[in-house]
């Protein structure tokens, strides 16, 4: 995932595939020297100006790993997966584009 912030930790998303209209889970790995206090995940469709119908649930697994359950891309098109990571008193945003057919 990419971020525009300077000195931002690397963030990786592990998912087999992004299914259409079916709930799925992902695992997020944050490579940071500092303790990550919180991770928030959301998704948005820029062309339709709307996001997810349900809020996903993020669970900390330890060692910079987080599991995100309850994601559901309910329609085809371009989605932006947005992840906010809080560490050292600051929040860094990451965005990854996903195209579903």
**Given a cut of 70, is residue 84 above it in pLDDT?**
yes
12-42 pLDDT, tens digit per residue, is 988 878 999 999 999 999 998 888 989 999 9
Q: Where are the beta strands (DSSP E) in 1-101?
A: 10-14, 24-31, 36-45, 50-51, 57-62, 65-71, 77-87, 90-100
CA 39/CA 68 separation, integer angstroms: 9
Maximum pairwise Cα distance, the chain: 39
Cα dihedral across residues 22, 70, 77, 30: positive or negative: negative
């Amino acid at each position: 995932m990419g971020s525009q912030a300077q000195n931002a930790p690397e963030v990786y998303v592990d998912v087999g595939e992004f299914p259409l209209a079916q709930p799925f889970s992902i695992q997020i790995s944050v490579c940071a020297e500092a303790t990550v206090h919180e991770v928030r995940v959301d998704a948005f469709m820029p062309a339709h100006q709307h996001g997810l119908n349900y809020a996903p649930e993020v669970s900390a697994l330890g060692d910079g790993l987080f599991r995100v359950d309850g994601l559901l891309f309910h329609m085809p098109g371009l989605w932006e997966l947005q992840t906010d990571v809080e560490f050292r008193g600051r929040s860094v945003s990451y965005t990854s584009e996903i195209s579903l057919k």
